[in-house]
Copies of this chain bind each other. A is one copy, B any other.
Amino acid sequence: MRKYSGKSDFPVSKIRRYLEPGPIVLVSSKWKDKTNIMTMGWHTVMEFVPSLVGCIIAGGNYSFDIIRKSRECVINLPTLNMIDAVIRIGNSSGDEIDKFKEFSLTPDKAQEVDAPLIRECHANFECKLYDDSLIDEYNFFIFEVVKAHVARSPKHPKTMHYMGDGMFMVAGSIVNKRSLFTKVL
């Protein structure tokens, strides 16, 4: 897998560019000496400033306890060349294997959190837990993105968008409709 080691800093208030289109993401986490990775499809941008992302992390996941205890994680953006790893990560549990080793992924040191970045991913968003009020009822975590790293190229990564039932939609063509907007958000 390609490794993106020369990433640029990216404004956290603009990470919607990558997350709003609805890609499947990899969530990396760390608690004490244990790291883990999970595959996640249920997330939404919630605010520009502070940069908030809400997401579902099911209670049965090994990552759930790690993230609840450490109150942080990294949301990583994988691309099509990682599709097999993305699926296998989602179909295995961190209490049995070391997912970084098992799937030959490279942990990079983050700046604002202890959880590792995944170097093979196009972008990495360092997150701190911002609001835990809906965790008990819905497994819904609200994170603040405190630091963002994005690969310089390609400009439009081939993200994967999960549809259930083993099917993915791959990011297609880009349409620029800026001229039609009265105010561009």
Partner of A42, one of B44, B165, B178: B44
Binding site for B on A (CB under 8 A): 14, 16-18, 20-23, 41-47, 52, 54-56, 80, 83-84, 87-88, 91, 131, 133-134, 137-138, 140, 142, 156, 160-185
What is the bound-complex CA distance between A168 and B66, given in angstroms? 35
Q: How many copies does the complex hold?
A: 2
Residue from B17, B18, B83, B140 within 8 A of A177 (CB atoms): B83
Binding site secondary structure of chain A = mixed
Which among B137, B163, B171 is the interface contact of A20 at CB below 8 angstroms? B163
Is A17 touching B164 in the complex (CB atoms < 8 A)? yes
Contacting pair B164 A168 (CB below 8 A): no
**Residue pair B170, A173 in contact (C-beta under 8 Å):** yes
Contact among B18, B44, B91 with A181 in the assembled complex (CB-CB below 8 Å): B91
CB-based contact A167/B161 at 8 Å: no
Smallest Cβ-Cβ distance to A161: which chain B residue:
B21
CA–CA, A21 to B183, complex, Å? 26
A23 to B172, CA, bound (A): 12
Alpha-carbon separation in the docked complex, A160 to B20 (Å): 11
Residue contact A177 to B87, C-beta cutoff 8 Å: yes
Pair B160/A168 contact, Cβ less than 8 Å: no
- Which interface residue of A44, A87, A134 has the most chain B CB atoms within 10 A? A44
